[in-house]
Structure 1
């Protein structure tokens, strides 16, 4: 049950980001900037995470999360780590 809720939350968040990108005037540029900033944020947290006590692994789930959700996805990853 918990796994289903987990994937439903990520699906809803991904859908929200898709709608956000589709409503932008410059869609492709918006997607590229959002994805690039998400990857940069993930790399910053990965390599500088020792300062905050959390260094996420660079695996497929984290990469997809940072590319689709951008910086809010990386922030959510860090917040969920410290709350769970």
Structure 2
């Protein structure tokens, strides 16, 4: 079904040793493709975070900073659209 606790601990130790070995050798990526993929991933994540920041800023400014709209009397509705004076007799 799954790994036992001892196997999991052993696998985590091996992975930690590999990561520490790469950090000591200053070679985090195996090839230029790994570096390129990481840069593309960081660019994508930066873009997503920037867009989320814009959405939050837009929501915050439209809720807090907008001036209250004037409310007319409830029985009187303003006409919508533009009057076409060319149709007048």
TM over 0.5: no
- Bigger Rg, structure 1 or 2: 2
Q: TM-score, normalised by structure 1?
A: 0.30
Higher RCO (CA 8 Å, separation ≥ 6 residues): 1
> More helix by proportion, 1 or 2?
1
